[in-house]
A and B are shown apart, each in its own frame.
Chain A
Amino acid sequence: MIGSIPLGDVLLASGALFTIGLAGALLRRSAISIFLSTEVMMNAANLALIGYGSAMGSREGQIIVFFIIAIAAAEASVGLAIFVALFRHKETIDVNKINLLKW
């Protein structure tokens, strides 16, 4: 089906999605929102991988995306457990109020 979809469209969508994710990671203040933004960035990378893989007629891109999604699941579970532990400790997940390392 890639025949009628130009690769430029896929890459533009991927770039726009990555930029939106970066905006969220830089501008949001809640740790969970920042974590969600990194998920958006990861999906932007997935889209580019699938687009290139389809354009090259290769399935390796889909294999890499399969592994990325599985690793994202592992990462999300551990990250959210860290937030739960942090919330128990500090009663907040606002990154401005978590300043244990600040001198």
Chain B
Amino acid sequence: MERLVFDAAAALTILFAGLMVMHPHPVKSVLALVVSFFGLAVCYVMLSAPFIAAIQVIVYAGAILVLFLFVLMLLNVGEETRGRERPIQRWLSAAALLVFAGLLLGLLRAHGASAPLSFGPLSGDVAPLARLLFSRYLLPFEALSVLLLAALVGAFVLAQREKGA
């Protein structure tokens, strides 16, 4: 049963990610990605990580993708014009992609499924996660807050209009 739900959510995620790549209009591809990230959140719940699922919905689908939408509408980006690049770019991209997919599939077939990893199931509680985050990983956590502040200032400076321009 759990496997069925996980596989359905993963299929939804992959389907909408594919739709995002295929769609020439950027706004619609962002909206497809929102659906895809909701599917991914369901996958996280099935893998007993409900906290990560919550921040996936709140931070990724709620904040980051909305930021993308804001910028797309601010810049008024239309549909992509195709066929401007040289054909060799397209061929090389497709070849690189096929080689990568083949290698990944081979690697998964060789090692992935047979990995001897099914230990005890985790409880989905947030409290042990928070305990770990605020004890052992306290320093990275604080460094992260400095990084977020730096990104805030950096984004403000970059997007500001130059003086006299």
Q: Which residues of A contact B (CB under 8 A)?
A: 1-13, 15-24, 26-30, 32-33, 35-37, 39-40, 43, 46-47, 50-57, 59-63, 65-67, 69-78, 80-85, 87-88, 93-94, 96
Contact = CB atoms under 8 A, between A and B. Distances in A.
B108 A36 contact: no
Main DSSP-derived SS at the A contact region = helix
Interface of B: 1-3, 6-7, 10, 13-14, 17-18, 20-21, 26, 29-30, 33, 36-37, 40, 43-44, 46-49, 51-52, 55-56, 59-60, 63-64, 67-68, 71-72, 74-75, 77, 80-82, 84-85, 90, 93-94, 96-97, 100-101, 104-105, 108, 112-113, 115, 117-122, 128-129, 132-133, 137, 140, 144, 147-148, 150-152, 154-156, 158-159, 161
Nearest to A27: B93
Contact of B117 (A12, A52, A88): A52
A77 B60 contact: no
A10 to B, nearest CB: 7
A39 B34 CA distance: 12
A65 B137 CA distance: 13
B93 to A, nearest CB: 4
Interface centre among B30, B68, B133 (most CB of A within 10 A): B68
Nearest to B11: A13
Contacts of A82: 158
A57 B21 contact: no
B127 to A, nearest CB: 11
Given A11-B108, A23-B97, A62 B52 contact: yes
Contacts, number: 230
Main DSSP-derived SS at the B contact region = helix
B7 A23 contact: no
Contacts of B117: 7, 52, 55-56
A87 B60 contact: no
Contacts of B59: 69-70, 73
A7 B112 contact: yes
A4 B14 contact: no
A61 B72 CA distance: 33
Contacts of B49: 50, 53-54, 61-62, 65
A84 B74 contact: yes
B21 A7 contact: no
